[in-house]
Chain A
């Protein structure tokens, strides 16, 4: 088990190096010149040359890549063109917002999807199954950014009950400690700020979580359907256990194993979804930062963000694999 995980961990290194190469090449295949973009079209040749030398853009490509790879491996992504700050610190200031958003999206999705899926799977073709299946289908077919827009339109524009942009109302939250607003406010016992942060979080998290909700519901349902035919379920029934107990104790605990994998797999979709949902809700996380950085052709920042997201995704998959083995003792590596 440990050996397997270590092997997997070692296997991710070449993948990450190749990813960095791919990103590096893509950036340099771009038509626009970042120096012109940053200094404006009116700059004279000497200034351009000076700027290029300062950023190392006058070096041959392989020298730039090698320099880039060695600094990145040391955990240094360089300085952002736009913010004139180290990329790592820019990203670090934005990541808590994305993690907070993704976490609550997962919570909303699982809390709604798993009971619905278990219910639907335990009683195939009943009204609850029809409702669940329809929800699942709607969930997977819903473009999250359109749902985001519609939620803003309905809940904020017409009913005017929830805020639609940003993470908090100005002046309510106390000083930042961890960067996770809800956690910070709870630690400071500032309940008004907790409520404020939650009300800002709800709509984006719902919009982001809806695809995962649909997929989780469908997977839970089909997984339950499959387990319902197992021998030990029949045994449990034959013992005279009540149906409720059979479903929740015997069926669910076994059927939920594939669901964990799907949560892991869908985290990638969630990360990408957060880019677009953050943009709609002006959520100050890594996703909206990426779009800003792309529009400014801020190469170091884009590279840093893409590599951070990809590394996170690779890491999550690794953790999920390990978790899978813990949950299902039948799995041996």
Chain B
């Protein structure tokens, strides 16, 4: 199957590549620009926000968006809090949580996957059983259950999101480690007396970076949505921290009266995730076209 795809890819290379490149650049560029903008907003959030995101102003409740240059650019919510400032602070929290989740799940997934594939045997059996059990939960359901019972909070939230997100890394990395361990350079390292740990660290993991990068991009997108979903359900970030999800949760009862309350935080989620997916698509096309079959990248 793999060799077949590769052959057909080389066959049509000149035309296809010429067609692919401009599209790839457009994707990477648009995606990159969106992500960069939100990351910058997240980093410099406190300096950009015109108001304190939690400051209630009962004289200015439920003000519709007033446009650029006005006091409340995107209007105010039911407690008179400035939507624009809250969206900016929300960016910071949402992205931080997502980065943390991707980093920790990558660390766990790559390590367990490499160990599982490289050693095989009992370690492999145990790790794969764990994967099977956790993967048997519908996504989000495990997160909801963990959050509901451990309580709201940033640490628990990251834990709840990591709980399933390390698995795609683990699966893909295990498969690749399985094939890598019988490659000549690994045998060579073994016969030269390298320890297993050293081989995994020096020879196996560097070969897995590209694939993991692609998986990580899509995990980032799904983490943002999952964090927002949990916060929306009231089992994510504590309500006093502004995030896109908590803003949507607050907005729920005012849907019919104040359209701007749900519009802006939701649009931020959508555009950010869109940007990340675009970037992920481009990365995957460049780094690892084999992942293409799964559609979602996971």
Docked complex Cα distance between A290 and B278 (Å): 34
Known: A26-B149, A141-B277, A219-B295. A149 touches B248 (CB 8 A): yes
Q: Does B221 contact A (CB under 8 A)?
A: yes
Question: Are the C-beta atoms of A145 and B133 separated by less than 8 Å?
Answer: no
Known: A218-B295, A302-B148. A313 touches B266 (CB 8 A): no
Residue from B129, B228, B294 within 8 A of A143 (CB atoms): B228
Docked complex Cα distance between A226 and B2 (Å): 12
Whose C-beta in chain B lies nearest to the C-beta of A225? Answer: B292
Q: Does A202 contact B (CB under 8 A)?
A: no
Q: Does A240 contact B (CB under 8 A)?
A: no
Question: Are the C-beta atoms of A141 and B149 separated by less than 8 Å?
Answer: no
Most B CB within 10 A of own CB, among A29, A223, A229, A280: A229
Q: Which of A64-72, A171-179, A243-251, A265-273 is the contact stretch?
A: A265-273
Dominant SS among interface residues on chain A = helix
Interface positions, chain A 139-177, Cβ under 8 Å from B, are 140-143, 145-146, 149-150, 152-153, 157
Q: Does B259 contact A (CB under 8 A)?
A: yes
Q: Does A222 contact B (CB under 8 A)?
A: yes
**How far in angstroms is the closest Cβ of chain B from A15?**
5
Docked complex Cα distance between A125 and B273 (Å): 24
Question: Are the C-beta atoms of A30 and B150 separated by less than 8 Å?
Answer: yes
Question: Are the C-beta atoms of A141 and B274 separated by less than 8 Å?
Answer: yes
Question: Are the C-beta atoms of B145 and A302 separated by less than 8 Å?
Answer: yes
Q: Does A84 contact B (CB under 8 A)?
A: no
Whose C-beta in chain B lies nearest to the C-beta of A274? Answer: B138
Q: Does B97 contact A (CB under 8 A)?
A: no
**How far in angstroms is the closest Cβ of chain A from B254?**
10
Residue from B136, B149, B256 within 8 A of A19 (CB atoms): B136
Known: A141-B273, A146-B269, A149-B262. A310 touches B138 (CB 8 A): yes
Q: Which of B45-53, B71-79, B207-215, B229-237 is the contact stretch?
A: B229-237
Most B CB within 10 A of own CB, among A22, A138, A140, A142: A140
Q: Mark B240-279, 1 if CB is under 8 A from A, else 0.
A: 0000000010011001100100110010011001100110
Q: Does A294 contact B (CB under 8 A)?
A: yes
**How far in angstroms is the closest Cβ of chain A from B240?**
19
Q: Does A279 contact B (CB under 8 A)?
A: yes
Whose C-beta in chain A lies nearest to the C-beta of B292? Answer: A222
Residues of B contacting A291 with CB < 8 Å?
233
Q: Mark A256-297, 1 if CB is under 8 A from B, else 0.
A: 001000100000110111011001100000000011001100
Residue from B139, B229, B262, B293 within 8 A of A258 (CB atoms): B293
Docked complex Cα distance between A93 and B87 (Å): 40
Residue from B144, B221, B228, B256 within 8 A of A275 (CB atoms): B144
Q: Does B114 contact A (CB under 8 A)?
A: no
Docked complex Cα distance between A31 and B147 (Å): 11
Interface size class of B (residues with CB under 8 A): 35 or more
Residues of A contacting B294 with CB < 8 Å?
219, 262
Known: A15-B132, A150-B263. A27 touches B277 (CB 8 A): no
What is the interface size of chain A, counting residues whose CB is below 8 A from a CB of the partner? 55
Q: Does A57 contact B (CB under 8 A)?
A: no
Docked complex Cα distance between A276 and B145 (Å): 14
Most B CB within 10 A of own CB, among A30, A226, A269, A272: A272
Question: Are the C-beta atoms of A313 and B138 separated by less than 8 Å?
Answer: yes
Known: A142-B270, A149-B251, A149-B252. A268 touches B295 (CB 8 A): no
Q: Does A183 contact B (CB under 8 A)?
A: no
Residue from B19, B141, B229, B278 within 8 A of A310 (CB atoms): B141
**How far in angstroms is the closest Cβ of chain A from B33?**
15
Residue from B141, B151, B274, B296 within 8 A of A306 (CB atoms): B141
Q: Does A120 contact B (CB under 8 A)?
A: no
Q: Does A23 contact B (CB under 8 A)?
A: yes
Q: Mark A181-213, 1 if CB is under 8 A from B, else 0.
A: 000000000000000000000000000000000
Question: Are the C-beta atoms of A276 and B138 separated by less than 8 Å?
Answer: no
Question: Are the C-beta atoms of A215 and B295 separated by less than 8 Å?
Answer: yes
Q: Mark A301-327, 1 if CB is under 8 A from B, else 0.
A: 010001001100110000000000000
Interface positions, chain B 276-298, Cβ under 8 Å from A, are 277-278, 281, 292-296
Docked complex Cα distance between A222 and B281 (Å): 13
Q: Give A contacts to B, CB under 8 Å.
A: 14-16, 18-19, 22-23, 26-27, 29-31, 125, 137-138, 140-143, 145-146, 149-150, 152-153, 157, 215-216, 218-219, 222-223, 226, 229, 258, 262, 268-269, 271-273, 275-276, 279-280, 290-291, 294-295, 302, 306, 309-310, 313-314
Could you show 9 A-B contacts with beta carbons less than 8 Å apart? Answer: A19-B136, A29-B149, A138-B274, A141-B277, A143-B270, A145-B228, A153-B255, A215-B296, A216-B295
